[in-house]
Amino acid sequence: MTVFDESLREASLSAVTALRAAGVATQITLDAGSKLGRQLKRANELGARFALVIGPEEAQAGIVNLKDLQSGEQHKLALADAVAHVVALA
């Protein structure tokens, strides 16, 4: 789970909670100041299949950006739909 910036940490933590409640092993970056590309690279290095990104636009719209780190595909989904998608492919 990425943290776009400190103002969106709470939204990111809510997403982590939803994923963990569904049984998905989840890590969240502790450094909200690091660039998104660096966070995605680190997730890839850790062997993550997916990364969730909640930027200002996503937070305002109540959605998340689900990025498949293997294929590079991205989908904007409601959090519940993103969780269901990750669970189905786990």
Predicted confidence (pLDDT) per residue in 29-86, tens digit: 888 778 989 999 999 999 999 999 999 999 999 999 999 999 999 999 999 999 999 9
Closest CA to 50 of 18, 17, 85, 78: 85
Residue 28 lies in a domain: yes
Beta-carbon contacts of 35 under 8 Å, excluding residues fewer than 6 positions away, are: none
Residue 1 lies in a domain: no
Q: What is the DSSP letter of 7?
A: G
- The CATH number linked to 33 is 3.40.50.800
- Total number of domains constituting the chain: 1
What does the buried/exposed string (b/e) look like for 57-73 if buried means 16 or more CB atoms within 10 Å of the residue's CB? ebbeeebbbbbebeeee
27-38: pLDDT as tens digits: 998 887 789 899
Residue 60 lies in a domain: yes
Domain that holds residue 14: 6-89
